[in-house]
Structure 1
Amino acid sequence: MRLIGFILVFIASTLPLLWYWPLLLSSDPIAIFSQYLGSTALILMGTNQFIATRMPGLEFVFGPLDRVYVLHKWLGITAMVCLGLHDIIDAEIDGLRGGPLSGIAEDIGEVGLYGLLILTIASVITFIPYHLWKWSHRLIGIFFFFGAFHFFFIEKPFSNLEPLGLYISSFCIIGILSYLWMAVLRPAARLGHAYQVASVRHLGDLTEVILHPQGQGLRHEPGQFAFLSVNAVGLSEEHPFTLSAAQTQDRALRFSIKELGDYSRRLRRELKVGMSARITGPYGRFTMPKGSGPQVWIGAGVGITPFLAFTESLKTRESGHVKLYYCVREHGDIPYARELEEIAMKADNLELIIINSNEGVRLSAERIVDDLSGRLSQAHVFFCGPVEMRKGLKRELVLEGLPVGRFHFEEFELRTGVGLKRLAIWLWNYGAQEYEKRRPKQASPAE
């Protein structure tokens, strides 16, 4: 996330303190603090609804879209913490006069609170199937509307027309309009570029799709991703996939999609040549730097897809020497190995190294350091693959002397949890250890 984005979110959520501070001195401070928490929740949720629109300029302010999705998750969690505390801490102030809808607003606020709590929990439980999560996620905007209604008509020590009321109301309106745009107007507007499926090929558990534009087409940089929507029953929902080929003169696109969920499995079964599709994007900043310094590209499994586009782009752009590590499990069935080998044979500055874990070979920071012959501090390292592998390599390479800013990656999974699985495992292990400590020891036969 870009620093400017973090600063803007921080200012937006703390600015109401300028107006709440005098109220803290003149009214019940605990109730005023509770109302501030409720206001902060609405500000963060309104911001989150706007971020979800993927409007142009968001990546400039908040960073690449994969980081924006991480921000989206944590803003939602923070908002729910604030909302939960607002519900627990009494926000009622004696002497306030409620309007005719204040009682209804109170009840609707409760419905919105529990609805948002349930959906937020569902969002961070990653074992819930994607299509069910996606369907339930759409309801968040409805419960946010309930929260905004609660704010508009509930009893409070200021009116909606005062500066504080207008400020919070603006975020409520932005959030509602953003939700309407995503749920109703955007699907009807059919934004994006029209394409037609020209080729479908199965490579192991990958489905390679080539699409030809039905108009101007999409321009993209190697390493970016786009959202694919096929005009067919069950395939029309937008899903993000990496563009696995560099831009061509006719702006044809290639996706290499691994079977990871219901949608990708349905694509493999049902996608046919001739189907029409819409592509929106491109997104992401996972692109090659300029310069003559050494580069290390690490693609693990389906994480090789952005580097397919990288290698093709070497034909038309200058670059320092590149070491491409392709980490796989099965040597006999490696998608795109032959394609990469042919490119490497023609490109003097590309060296392809296949790392096969089934042969007992693992990629390590020590191996990379040795291969670079002491030039690690001058290199740029690009990684696409499993999160744990990325964290381990980054940590070790930084300790070996790689500047942190020269390790580039994109979030491999746009939908991530909050560590609940690790927490559950830790609690289970801790409980088992405590049980073993306290369990009475049985005497041995010799005793």
Structure 2
Amino acid sequence: MKRMKFSFLMILVVPTILWLLADTLYPEPFTYFAFRKVFIQYSGVLAIILMSIVMILALRPKFIEPYFDGIDKIYKLHKWLGISAFLLGVLHWWFAKGTKWMVGWGWLEKPVKTPSNEVLGTIEAWFKTQKGLSESVGEWAFYIMVILIFIALIKKIPYHWFVKSHKIFALVYIALVYHTIILTKIGYWSEPIGLLLIVMMVFGTIAAFISLFKKIGNSRKSQAKIVDLVEYPKLKILETTLLLDDTWKGHKAGQFAFVTSNKKEGHHPYTIASSWDKNDKKMTFITKALGDHTSRLKDTLKIGMNVEVEGPYGCFDFGDDKKLHIYIGAGIGVTPFIARMNDLEKNPNDKTIHFFHSTSKPDDEFLENLKEDVKNSNVNLHLFVSKIDERLSSEKIKELVPNWQNSSIWYCGPLKFGQSLREDFVSSGLNPEDFHQELFEMR
């Protein structure tokens, strides 16, 4: 999280510094209209840089995953940058459009323009002819962006609508690149901020076209067939086993993949609940009916159906040198730990592992399978059933694992519960780097 926050800060600070080397937010004489002119430039430049990075991160770049500790954190950064670009866009729009309204309302008096005898070059003259069109393009692109942002943030809107509408961002971005090229102050292009703008817009545009042509993650996609389905009605859980083709290169326990069973619906992210064995090439997903899509899976998925799998992604892979591990799986958050125990059964190690699992609706068959996995992997299970046992808490974990300060903790489950556990353990002396939490939230 520290790296994500640091990166977010640097993405804002570095372009700001470069822009200030080329211009100022304190023009002389300092008047509303003088400030408006420079602020429109600053907000527009910073917003398009943020949007460029948003487009690049949308490609799910694997090479930066280790730095951010997983693509789940990259998606978090993607979301923060998108919201920041939107807020900058609102300010940019208001100073550009709102000022004209305030002049019309009589709140502001527009300064008188002095005629310019400057002879424009060919490029500058052409840019001037494009000004009106680029302003209109930018304005309408902004309005579309507002709608798309609300679709992205309102979680009651079905996920497949979010995925489909999100692709329109690529067109909006390309329109805003045109808007930026035409309306950015000519003098910036010979400054460091101009070079940064060019680089960001080139890579952002490439990313936009990759998105438009549906090529994101193509090199990491494999075909698979459903070979088994097991339903646990009491838990509203469906266990799906796939047989993958030879293009799947394997995965680590704890990672996740995007699965497409219906192209109209689009892909959905699922944590992988099995270790990889290149001899049988099978992969298991455990999904809980939490929304409209997952609730329909038990009716739409059939044995023999072909699906597409993209991945693997994520760094929630239990990879550190600590001899003591504490695993906490709350509810459906048990999934990556099932994969981990499956892996430990095949590849035992000398770590001492305590696995805490809390559930509100126990299913006898599911729990028996879990206990069997625990037994075969030599893991210490601590099971907490709501309304029967006391509530799982950091205090209880500390009581059952006295030397917890020397452990690494791996948590998967509801975000708020994880944040609460993290805060308590860290405030009690745990190194923040030793608390690993999967932020499995894609919007």
TM over 0.5: yes
For 1:48, the aligned partner's letter is V
Q: Which residue of 254, 258, 265 corresponds with 2:284?
A: 254
| 1:341-380 → structure 2 map (5 Å cutoff) | 341-348=371-378, 350-373=379-402, 375-380=403-408
| Deviation of 1:137 (Å) | 1.7
> Aligned pair in 2 of structure 1 residues 124, 357: CA closer, same or farther (>3 Å)?
same
Question: In 2, are the aligned partners of 1:51 and 1:58 still within 8 Å (CA)?
Answer: no
Residue 280 (structure 2) pairs with residue 278 (structure 1): no
Which moved further from structure 2: 125-134 or 252-261? 125-134
Deviations 1:86-141 (A, max 9, x none): 22235999659652221111111111112212222332222222122222222222
The correspondence for 2:416, drawn from 384, 388, 399, is 388
Gaps of 5+ in 2: 100-110, 119-124
Q: What corresponds to 1:411 in structure 2?
A: 439
Q: Tell me, what secondary structure is at the counterpart of 1:363?
A: coil
- Structure 1 segment 75-224 matched on structure 2, within 5 A: 75-90=81-96, 99-154=128-183, 156-158=185-187, 164-186=193-215, 192-204=221-233, 205-224=236-255
Question: What SS does structure 1 have at the residue aligned with 2:129?
Answer: coil
Name which of 53, 59, 78 aligns with 1:53: 59
Distance in 2 of aligned mates of 1:140 and 1:117: 11
Q: Does 1:240 align with 2:269?
A: yes
Q: Does 1:313 align with 2:343?
A: yes
Shift of 1:161: 7.1
Whichever residue aligns with residue 320 of structure 1, its letter is K
**Which of 188-197 and 49-58 deviates more?**
188-197
The Cα of 1:326 is off from its aligned counterpart by 1.3
Q: Which moved more, 1:358-367 or 1:299-308?
A: 358-367
Q: Deviations over 1:395-434 (max 9, x none)?
A: 222333322222111013222xxxxxxxxxxxxxxxxxxx
> Which shows bigger deviation, 316-325 or 187-196?
187-196
Instruction: Establish whether residue 325 from structure 1 lines up as the match of residue 356 from structure 2.
Output: yes
After alignment, is 361-370 or 259-268 more displaced? 259-268
**Alpha-carbon distance in 1 for matches of 2:436, 2:420:** 14
Could you tell me how far 1:176 is from its partner in structure 2?
2.3
Query: Within 2, Cα distance between the matches of 1:335 and 1:37?
Result: 58
Query: Given residue 406 of structure 1, which amino acid in structure 2 is its aligned partner?
Result: D
Q: Matches of 1:258 and 1:81 in 2, distance apart?
A: 35
Alignment of 1:399 with 2:430, yes or no, is no
When residues 291 and 110 of structure 1 are mapped into structure 2, their CA distance, relative to the original with a 3 A threshold, is closer
**Would you say 1:288 and 2:332 are equivalent positions?**
no
CA distance in structure 1 between the partners assigned to 2:192 and 2:371 by the alignment: 64
1: distance between equivalents of 2:209 and 2:181?
A: 19
Q: Structure 1 residues 72 and 325, CA, compared in 2 at 3 Å: closer, same or farther?
A: same
Tell me by how many angstroms 1:57 deviates. Answer: 0.9
Contact 1:193 1:279 (C-alpha < 8 Å) held by counterparts = yes
TM-score (norm 1): 0.83
Q: Mean Cα displacement is larger for which, 31-40 or 394-403?
A: 394-403
Comparing 238-247 with 26-35, greater Cα deviation is found at 26-35
Q: Deviations over 1:177-224 (max 9, x none)?
A: 212102215179575122221112212211211111222423111101
Equivalent-residue separation in structure 1 for 2:409 and 2:220 (angstroms): 35
Alpha-carbon offset, residue 264 of structure 1? 1.9
The letter for the 1-side match of 2:287 is I
Identity of aligned residues (%): 27
1:255 CA displacement: 0.8
Q: 1:385/1:164 Cα in 2 relative to 1: closer, same or farther (>3 Å)? A: closer
Write the distance in 1 (CA, Å) between the matches of 2:298 and 2:219.
Answer: 24
The amino acid across from 1:140 in the alignment is F
Decide whether aligned partners of structure 1 residues 297 and 366 sit closer, same or farther in structure 2, where only a CA change above 3 A counts: same
Superposed displacement of residue 345, structure 1:
2.9
2:327 equivalent to 1:297: yes
Q: Secondary structure at the match of 2:128?
A: coil
TM-score under structure 2 normalisation? 0.84
Consecutive unaligned residues in structure 1, runs of 5 or more: 416-447
Residue 334 of structure 1 deviates from its aligned partner by 5.4
Asked if the contact 1:193–1:217 (Cα under 8 Å) also holds between the matched residues in 2, the reply is yes
Which residue in 2 is equivalent to 1:423? none
CA RMSD of aligned residues (A): 2.8
CA contact (8 A) 1:64 1:284 kept: yes
- The residue type equivalent to 1:103 in the other structure is G
The C-alpha deviation readout for 1:322-367, integer Å capped at 9, x for no partner, is 1111111123x2563212212333444x111210112252011111
Pick 1 or 2: higher relative contact order, CA cutoff 8 A, min separation 6: 2
